[in-house]
Structure 1
């Protein structure tokens, strides 16, 4: 068995099918050294902010196409308002929208529809970086 630390991943979309597609594509363990993952689903922007404010979230995957609050705006809000924010990944439907992800200060992007070959690697990389930035307990 691996000594990988468990991680909590929040997935946000106003559409349940998008949330399910992300969970299915990434799985419970995106890499041998990452996970197991606990998934938290949010259907509204307010739920995302409240959940992140409560703490314990390592990564947020935010749907840029969500309505009425898009994941790009939420990423920007979390970056500005949360001192030790989780890693942020935004889902973009159009590659030209990647500049918006840069504006939002997201750490990564994933295209919609979610590709089950690339999504686990992106999520694993973000979680590895997040674990590397955690303060050491004393």
Structure 2
């Protein structure tokens, strides 16, 4: 958090889904400022796995929210790929449609999960927590 209780600097959040409605639902549920000490958020939308990889490689992404149900590349596989290929990858949250898929989120090395459909009462808190944690992580050199 910023000194003297002032709001943190803007954060860029990537949301990935092959479905535009899912991307919109995430943005709407989380909002532009998920907590007083976090944000405001800038959203980057990706519809393909290649767009996600390019955006993360470009830097500046604080959090990736990846749809585990996306086609043809699922968010769980993308999360695992980013973990293995990007030394200082952003925090990752995966969207899961079924509670039994929670173990896949663990396998993917995601720091958080959100159930589908996205709940606007819980999503902002989780996103804020992930962004706070990401801000405290030391950079890999």
Match of 1:84 in 2: 88
- 1:120 and 2:124 matched: yes
Secondary structure at the aligned position of 2:87 is classed as coil
- Tell me which stretches of 4 or more aligned residues in structure 1 moved more than 6 Å: none
- 1:18 and 2:12 matched: no
Gapped runs of 5+ residues in structure 2?
A: none
TM-score by length of 2: 0.93
Q: Distance in 2 between matches of 1:3 and 1:16?
A: 30
- 1:4 and 2:17 matched: no
Q: Distance in 2 between matches of 1:3 and 1:9?
A: 17
Question: Per-residue deviation at 1:19?
Answer: 0.1
CA contact (8 A) 2:7 2:36 kept: no
Secondary structure at the aligned position of 2:64 is classed as strand
CA contact (8 A) 2:13 2:65 kept: yes
- 1:98 and 2:102 matched: yes
- Which of 45, 49, 57 aligns to 2:53? It is 49
In angstroms, what is the RMSD of aligned CA positions? 1.0
In the alignment of these two chains, the number of paired residues is 135
Secondary structure at the aligned position of 2:33 is classed as coil
